[in-house]
Structure 1
Amino acid sequence: MWFGGSVPAAIAAAKERSSVFVVFVAGEDEQSTEMAARWEDEKVTEAASDGFVAIKIDTKRSEPILILSLVQSFVDDDDENPVVCVPSSFFIGDNGIPLEVIAGSVSVEELVTRIHKVKQKEIKKEIERRKTGKEMLEYKRRQEEELTKRMLEERNREKAEERAARERIRQQIAMDRAERAARFAKSKEEAEAAKAAALQAKQAEIEARKEAAQRERSAIARIQFRLPDGSSFTNQFPSEARLEEARQFAAQTVGNTYGNFSLATMFPRREFTKEDYGKKLLELELAPSASVVLLPPSVRSAHQQEHSAPSASGSIEQSRQAVRKRVVEKRGEDFKKEGKIYRLRTQDDGEDENNTWNGNSTQQM
């Protein structure tokens, strides 16, 4: 379990793996031999198998200056003459501060307990580190959202100022024209023309305001989606958005409840085609607000049959006209028309008509 390289290499490995750096200082005494055996026990090896980089320093083979410098970094600065306890075990965190120090030899159970204690310190530190990282990410996200919001507000403000400036210019031009017409009016006709120009300018101003208000209202399309079960939900879209975006929003909301549904309006009655889904909501007259119906496949088939009904009703109407024609023709044979009134024919009627055509009618006299 011991690191095979040098002390600097072991320190670098511990930092790279974000692991606890363990330094075991051993001598040739009996306690050092016992503690070395404790470190190499199966329970200890298993407890320290994850999250530790351990190195063993032999006081006989290592330079005394190296051992003393390591020990001095683990004791208080006020201690000018630190005593090197052999054997010693140091658990050092990534910031160079000892998390735990074991002087002398301890049992396997005590060593395992100390290792778990160090792990708990590292877990708390990792939780705190993650919490700090999460807070930093959240802070960065809020900053980006605030920056985006300010940029959007600034852009909208600039656009509003540009529209207002153009409107002021148009109004000024109209007023200048009206003033010039009034100033140079030399007759009643010219005065009337100036008055009309002023009125036209005023009307243009009113129309411009209406147009601006209409553009403002048309910027957003508020769509109400009506479901076959009678419920509904509403969402707002940019008026420049495509109808397909509204359909995708509805599909995400209802899921697979209504299958591959389509959209339609009831007033006026219209089912949108594939070409319509690529058009803008404003172009389809769905802004500033509209109500659309979700048509499941079964309802859509009935809707299409209903639209094909006029051809059948046309055939029925032709049959009715043929019947009315036969009735009129029959009416001419069995009835006699007097003004707008039809009277049942009699035998005398037939004789009178014959007399007329035979030259016996008084009408020929």
Structure 2
Amino acid sequence: MGQNDLTNEMDKVWNDPEVVNLCNNGGCVAIKMAANSNDCAHFSQIYPVVVVPSTYFIGVNGAPIEVTAGHKDTPDFIQVLKNVLKLHNDQLGTAQSNLPTGGAQPGPSTDPKANTEDKPPLEERVQKVKEKLEQKKAEKERLEKEKEKQEEAERRKLGRDLQKLKEFQKEREMKETVDQLKKEKAEEKRQRDKIKEQIARDREERAARFKKETEKQQQAQEEKKQAQLAARQKQSSEEEAKKMETARIQVRLPDGTSLLNSFPSSDTLQCVHSVVSQHVGSDVTLSTVYPKRTFTTDDLSQTLLSLNLAPSAVLIAVPGKPSVISKQGNNGGGILALFFAPFLFLWNMIRVFLFGDKRSSQPKREDTPDATETPDESQSTRRRDRPQTAYQRRPISRGDGNVRRLADMRDDDDENATWNGNSTQQM
């Protein structure tokens, strides 16, 4: 026994009244030795003591019947004690049954004659004595071997018990270590979960703040965009309205040349018709290619804006008076004029090449007052409506006072077609 808590607990079990009664009734002799005493040292030389406290149940032959290591509860120890007493009683019963039983033994013969006659020869007696000695020797050797086997079995059993005890201690230590590791891991996991929760809360708060700030920024940007869009729309509307105030009209003449002039969009088509008729020297019929339309006398009283000729348009002039009835869709005269226009252009080119341009020697016709513009207004209108990619053109008209003279645009046919969206090259 030692001085630890397990020894104190086991001492209570040993002194339990039921345990004491079982030991007294079973004929047990209890010996208690301290772990650091000489008696325990001598005892350990025969029966190794590994764990303190330990209980050894030793039989009458000196072999341990049972060994308990460490602390055991009272009910468990009582059950072990009962099993040991049962094994001890079984060993005692087996030993008594092996003792020789007493009986009637034949005594020596009183008849000398009979003894003389029955007495065997000396050699036989010597031989029998030798045989008996051999038998005793063999029996002794057999008993010694059995004893050695029994001792070997007891030593093996004791070794197994000690091995079990060591394994039990090792398992208990491992279990304690595993429990401690589990406890530490659980504590670490709890701390990690706590930190993760805090991080998640911080992340949510940051995300909420970022979302709120982002929404504010987006709202401010959206308001700014809406304001810019409204300003651009207003500016575009103003520019579009300003553009719609003037109509740039390009007229393809029957001889292949073209005229370009600007008119207020509130002017009627009659103004354009008058300018073109004066330039050609005869009445003409005006039409558009896309959308395909031939203007009649009823259309001459309408404004350029209502006829969708603002801010720019391309008209084709065909010799002949405009028809009274408005015809849209398929127009036979317009188709024929478009068909013969290239031939007329070639004929005019040949005529000019062979006979010269007679119009160059004739004085220029004057424009009507409605179609005139001041030089500054004409130049500013052309600069505003001309795309940045357009080439620099010669002035369309020359002015002397309030009189406007149209210029010949024969050399600028291809140039005009590069920027005007209603060009005849789209046919």
TM-score where L is the length of structure 1: 0.29
Question: Is the radius of gyration larger for structure 1 or structure 2?
Answer: 2
Higher strand residue share: 1
Q: Provide TM-score, normalisation by structure 2.
A: 0.25
